[in-house]
Amino acid sequence: MMEETEELSGRKRDEADSFRLHMVTWNVATADPPDDVTLLLHLNAPKSPDLYVIGLQEVYSGPVRFMSDRVFDDSWSKLLMDTLAPRSYVKVSSIRLQGLLLLCFCKLQHLPFIRDVQARYTRTGIYGYWGNKGGVSVRLSFYGHMLCFLNCHLAAHMDYASERVDEFQCILDTQAFDCPKAPRISDHRLVFWFGDLNFRIQDHGMHFVRSCIAEQSYHLLWSQDQLTMMKKKDRVLQEFEEGPLDFPPTYKFDLNSDIYDSSGKKRKPAWTDRILWRLRPNEEEEEEEEEEYPLRVRQELYTSNMEYSCSDHKPVIGVFTLELRKMCAGPLVRLQPDGDWSADMDAMVLYSPLQPITASPWDWIGLYKVGFTSVSDYITYTWVKDDEVASSEEVVQVYVSKEEIPVRGGECVLCYYSDALQCVVGVSEAFKVQGSKVASEEGLMPGNIDALDRTVSREDLLD
C-alpha cells in the first residue's frame, strides 16, 4: 500500500509544471528610471521568466507629476511595459499609492489562466492618513492557485523595529478582497512580502559592519539584522522564509556611486530591501486539495544589483521556480478570426466556450497588435452579445466592422474579456490583418497612416 502511495505521489510530482518568477524590489528615491533595465530584468538570461513582479518605493509623487501619472502611465511603468511588451509580456495588474508602485506581468500564453485579479492598498504613514508609507498588493489566481504579492514601505530609523512589525500586521489585518476562499492576504496559498522593509543592523558598530562588507563576511552581520531578530519573537514573521543574505547591504549609498553614505550622517549600511515568501501550511479542510494540486516554491537566486546607482538603494532581485499542478489546464474560450481579415472589408470572429461560462452583455472581444502592453491596449473591440451574427451549440459568430480594423494592418491577436470574471479568458493565435488597399493607392501607407489607425476609448470599459 505504501509503495502504491509513493508511486501515486511520484506521478503527481511528475505532472507538475514549472514556472519561473522574477521579482524586483527597489527604492528608487524619486529618481527617473535608467535608460536600460536589461540587467535588472535579466533579459539575456537563457531561461525567460513566466512572471515578472516589480515593486518600487519612493517613485516621485510631486503634485504635478502625480496628477499627470493618474492620466498617463508614470515613467517607470512606461519603461517596463515598453521593454517587456515586445517580448510578449502583458501587464496583468498594477497599483500605486503615492510613491509605492507594484506591477505584475505575465507571458501572453498565461494570460487566460490568470483570474480573480484584485489590487488593494493600505496607508500607514502619518497616523494612516498619508501614503508615504504603507503597502500595496495584487492577488490573483494562477492556474487555480491563489497567490498574493505585497509590496511595503515601512517606518524608517533604527529604533522603530517594533513599529515596522506593527505596520506589517496592520496591513495584513486591514486589506480585504472580494474572494470567498481568500478574503485576506494570509488566506492565500502563497504570499510574497517584499519592499523597503527598513530593518537595520543593530549593535554592531560602523567600522565592524563596513569591514564585514569589504571582506564579504556577511554572515557575521546576520545575527544583528533586525528582521532576523524580530522573527524569533513574532509568530507571523516566523511563517515567512527568506534566502540567505549573501549580498552587500543595499542601503545607503551615495548617489551615482557604489560608496556607502559618506555624508555627515554616515548612516550604517543595512539590508532594508527584502523579498520573503510564505507557503501556507496544510489545513485540515484544504489538505485534500493541496495534496491533489501541489504547489512548491524554490528560490533560484537572491541578490542585489550593484550596477544601478541612480538611487541611494540598490535593487534586490529574487528568482523563484513555482512547481504546481494546474487546476485549470485549458482556457474557458477558444476564438479565432473567421477567414482572412483586411481593413477593406467587414470581418467575423468565431468563438467557442470550452467550459461552462455565462456570456454577459458586457463581455467583449478585443483586437490587439502583437506586442500589446496590457488588456486596455486594444485597437478596437466588439460586443459579444450586441454584435453576435449567428450561433450554434458549439460556435458563435461575432461581427467586426471594417471601420474598426487598423488601416495599415499587421500581426494581431484576439482576446475574449469576461465581465463576470474581470479578466481575459481566451487568446487567439496570432494572425495577419491585411492593410487597406484603398489607403495604399491613395498614398497613405505607410508614412502618414498613423493618424488613421483607428482606436477607441478604453477607460469606459476598464475603469
pLDDT at residue 190 is higher than 50: yes
Q: Are 167 and 124 in contact (CB under 8 A)?
A: yes
Q: Are 349 and 52 in contact (CB under 8 A)?
A: no
How big is the CA angle at 99 (ends 374 and 271), to the nearest 5 degrees? 105
Q: Are 420 and 360 in contact (CB under 8 A)?
A: yes
pLDDT at residue 71 is higher than 70: no
Please determine whether the domains at 2-324 and 333-462 fall in the same fold group of CATH.
no
pLDDT at 283: 58
pLDDT at 65: 54
- Domain positions in the chain: 2-324, 333-462
pLDDT at 3: 46
Task: Tell me if the domain spanning 2-324 has CATH number 3.60.10.10.
Answer: yes
Instruction: List pLDDT tens digits, range 260-291.
Output: 999 998 899 999 999 999 998 765 556 666 67
Proportion of the chain above pLDDT 70, given as a percent? 86
pLDDT at 461: 45
Domain 333-462 fold is Immunoglobulin-like (2.60.40)
Mean pLDDT for the chain? 89
Point out the least confidently predicted range of 63-77, 121-135, 281-295, 444-458.
444-458
pLDDT at residue 130 is higher than 70: no
Instruction: List pLDDT tens digits, range 80-127.
Output: 999 999 999 999 999 999 999 999 999 999 999 999 999 999 999 765
Three-class SS state of 5: helix
Instruction: List pLDDT tens digits, range 361-371.
Output: 999 999 999 99
Three-class SS state of 48: coil
**Where does the pLDDT of residue 357 fall: very low under 50, low under 70, confident under 90, or very high at 90 and above?**
confident
pLDDT at 449: 41
Phi, psi of 174 (to 5 degrees): -95, -25
Q: Are 302 and 215 in contact (CB under 8 A)?
A: no
